[in-house]
């Protein structure tokens, strides 16, 4: 990851994450390689790397980047792994996971969010993610 090419708010976030103990460089690189602004409503895009959970519609939010980084680091995802994500939302977490795992299967109960996530993931060329509409709370 070339630091000079990254936006200042993202560099600051990465520094804070390292200081807070998120030391897995693969996770930090996956986070930095995933344009969070693509996963946000347009009015929030300029604030994409603020460590804030933004509303994405349908009563849902996109998780703070620090939460995504910590969860992903704790999962210890390996390149050979298949990952199940319950609650696709915007697709941002799935996109980060897709850069680390062999395959990501993610479920979303709101069809419009699933459709939007599929489009974003395809735009990024992340072909190792499947988004399925279903209610993950049902097991």
Mean pLDDT of 23-33: 97
Distance (Å, whole) CA 61 – CA 67: 12
pLDDT at residue 139, rounded to an integer: 76
Domain that holds residue 16: 3-138
Is 57 strand, coil or helix? strand
Please identify which residue in the block is written with the tokens 């419009």: 112
Q: Please tell me what DSSP assigns to residue 26.
A: H
Distance (Å, whole) CA 139 – CA 119: 26
- The model's pLDDT over 45-58, given as tens digits with 9 standing for 90+, comes to 999 999 999 999 99
pLDDT at residue 138, rounded to an integer: 87
Instruction: Return the active site residues.
Output: 63
CATH number at residue 84: 3.40.50.150
Q: Please tell me what DSSP assigns to residue 81.
A: -
Q: Please tell me what DSSP assigns to residue 109.
A: S
131 has pLDDT over 70: yes
pTM score of the predicted model:
0.95
Categorize the per-residue pLDDT at 2 as very low, low, confident or very high, splitting at 50, 70 and 90.
low
Categorize the per-residue pLDDT at 6 as very low, low, confident or very high, splitting at 50, 70 and 90.
confident
Neighbours of 48 (CB within 10 A): 20
Residue 119 makes CB contacts below 8 A (sequence gap 6+) with: none
Distance (Å, whole) CA 10 – CA 20: 15
- The model's pLDDT over 99-116, given as tens digits with 9 standing for 90+, comes to 999 999 999 999 999 999
Mean pLDDT of 120-139: 95
Categorize the per-residue pLDDT at 5 as very low, low, confident or very high, splitting at 50, 70 and 90.
confident
Distance set, CA 133 to CA 18, 48, 89, 105, 112 (Å): 35, 26, 11, 11, 9
Domain count of the chain?
1
């Amino acid at each position: 990851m070339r630091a000079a090419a990254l936006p200042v708010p993202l560099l600051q976030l990465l520094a804070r994450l390292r200081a807070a103990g998120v030391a897995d460089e693969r996770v930090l690189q996956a986070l930095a390689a995933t344009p969070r602004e693509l996963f946000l409503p347009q009015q929030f895009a300029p604030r994409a790397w603020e460590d804030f959970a933004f509303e994405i519609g349908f009563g849902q939010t996109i998780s703070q980047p620090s939460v995504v980084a910590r969860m992903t680091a704790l999962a210890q995802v390996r390149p050979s792994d298949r990952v199940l994500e319950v609650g696709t939302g915007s697709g941002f977490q799935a996109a980060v996971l897709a850069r680390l795992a062999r395959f990501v299967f993610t479920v979303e109960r709101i069809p419009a969010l699933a459709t939007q996530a599929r489009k974003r993931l395809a735009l990024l060329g992340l072909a190792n993610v499947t988004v399925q509409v279903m209610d993950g709370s049902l097991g």
